[in-house]
Amino acid sequence: MVNPSQELLATANGRKFQTILADPPWRFTNRTGKMAPEHRRLSRYGTMSLPEIKALPVAEIVQEPAHLYLWVPNALLPEGIEVLRAWGFEYKSNIVWHKIRKDGGSDGRGVGFYFRNVTELVLFGVRGKNARTLAPGRRQVNLIASQKREHSRKPDELYDVIEACSRGPFLEMFARDTRKGWTGWGNQAENYEITWDTYAHHSRVTASAAE
């Protein structure tokens, strides 16, 4: 059986990272404790329980001062704070991803039990002394507005923000693709392929258009 903690340490291979981006495969449950039906997308890849995510040995692979950018669904904000603290970081701020249509309006195709979600949050945490963002961070607004792509895929614009505002080395946990200058850990990092119905504006289309 695969041990995520051992895999993470093996990927680090003794290296330490000053900036970590993480998009955990959160496990959604409804009031009965069963997996919420609106999250059928979770069958596309494995999920982890909150204790499993918190137990990952992130503290062993960071070099202070360090920054953490942690994706968390709106419904799991308290759990996101728990993970941030379990990994040894102190919450400071957040970045909001506003999912928009081609015409710039809010994309209302997201799920939500109470409201139709058109945003997702990135929690920003720090550990160690002198852990402020770099100078561009003090000019960077905490909003990214971009179109949705395939399920669970996050906006590439965030990488540019992180690289401008935080110090390397950079590690992406639960990576779904590779990026130059980053170390990626995740079961889709090297062989990410789209094998399900998705949005027309997905990453492979975007990448092909840029070539």
Give the pLDDT score at 150: 63
Give dist(CA 3, CA 6) in Å, integer: 5
φ/ψ of 20, rounded to 5, equals -125, 130
- C-alpha pair distances (Å), 13 with each of 38, 183, 185: 38, 11, 12
204 within a domain of the structure (yes/no): no
191 within a domain of the structure (yes/no): no
Over the range 47-79, which residues count as b (16 or more CB within 10 Å of their CB) and which as e? ebebeebbebebeebbeebbbbbbbbbebbeeb
Give the pLDDT score at 135: 96
207 within a domain of the structure (yes/no): no
66 within a domain of the structure (yes/no): yes
**pTM recorded for the entire structure:** 0.83
201 within a domain of the structure (yes/no): no
Give dist(CA 56, CA 8) in Å, integer: 8
Q: How many domains does the chain have?
A: 1
194 within a domain of the structure (yes/no): no
Chain centroid to CA 129: how far? 24
Give dist(CA 40, CA 9) in Å, integer: 31
Give the pLDDT score at 210: 41
Containing structural domain, residue 118: 4-185
25 within a domain of the structure (yes/no): yes
Q: Which CATH number goes with the domain that contains 161?
A: 3.40.50.150
The token pair at 139 is: 């000019």
Q: Write the single-letter amino acid at 176.
A: R
pLDDT in tens, the chain (211 residues): 578 999 999 999 999 999 999 999 998 765 444 444 334 444 444 789 999 999 999 999 999 999 999 999 999 999 999 999 999 999 999 999 999 998 889 988 877 778 888 999 999 999 999 999 999 999 999 999 998 876 567 899 999 999 999 999 999 999 988 899 999 998 654 443 333 333 344 333 344 444 4
3-state SS of 134-199 is CHHHHCCCCEEEEECCCCCCCCCHHHHHHHHHCCCCEEEECCCCCCCCEEEECCCCCCCCCCCCCC
